[in-house]
Amino acid sequence: MKTDHAARLTYTENSDRRLMRTRVKICGITRKQDVIAAANAGADALGFVFYEPSPRYVTPDAARELVDAVPPFVAATGLFVNPEASYVREVLSQVPLGLLQFHGDESPEFCNSFGVRWIKAVRVRETDDIEHAFEHYRNASGLLVDAWDPKKYGGTGQSFNWSLIPSTRPLPLILAGGLASDNVSRAVAQVRPWAVDVSGGVESSKGIKDDEKITDFINEVHRVDETD
C-alpha cells in the first residue's frame, strides 16, 4: 500500500503545536476491562500482541473478543515479530485490525503484502538507524522508535537517547520505550512526536493495565499539548 508522503510531511514537520495534538497508543492489552479503561481515558489506539514469547501475547480468539469491545474511532493495532505470512493472514481472517505493527526484522515487501496499513518499529542505537528506516520503510504509515536491546524486540521498559531522533521526518514518528506518566511530558516536549506508545508504563503487572496509570499518562500528554 502506498502512502502520500507530501501530505504526511506537513503533519510531521508542523512546528505550530496549536494545529496538532500528540496521539496515544496503549499497547499490550489482554483484558476487556483494559480496553474500556484505555478508551474512556482518551486513547487513540490500542495494541494487541501476536507474539507468543511476550507476556502480553493474546491468541486470535481472545483478540477477537477484545477488539469487539473497542469503541468507534479507536484504532485496533496488531503487533507481530518476524511472523510467518500465513500467521498474519490467519489473524486478519479472525480479528478486524485496522493497522499492523511489525516489530522484528521484516522487509518492506513483507510488511506491504497484506493489504492493511502498517507501521514499522526500529530499535535505536544511533541516528542513522532512524534515517535509514525512514527511507527503507518509506511506504509505512508511520515509524515507531524504541530502545535497542540485543535480545528483545521491544517491551524492554527502557528509554533511549531522544536526541538521536532527527528533526526531519518524512513519516509520522511514534515514540516508545520506557515511557510512563513521570517522563512522557518531557518526552513530548523534547521530541514532538506524532504519537507515543506505552505498555509497561501503565501496568500493575505484565499484561495487566492500571486504570489510574493510564489516565495519568494520557493527561500528562495532553497537558503538554495544551500548554505549548
Cβ neighbours of 157 (radius 10 Å): 17
Give whole-number Cα distances, 155 to 24, 33, 146, 193, in Å. Answer: 16, 21, 9, 19
Which of the following is catalytic: 34, 44, 111, 146?
146
Element holding 90 (H helix, E strand): helix 85-94
Which of the following is catalytic: 27, 44, 111, 197?
27
146 has catalytic annotation: yes
198, 186 Cβ separation under 8 angstroms: no
At 113, is the secondary structure helix, strand, or coil?
helix
* 177 beta partners: none
27 has catalytic annotation: yes
C-alpha 148/C-alpha 141 separation (Å) is: 22
Our CA angle for 216, 217, 222, nearest 5°, is: 95
Q: Please list the active-site residues.
A: 27, 146
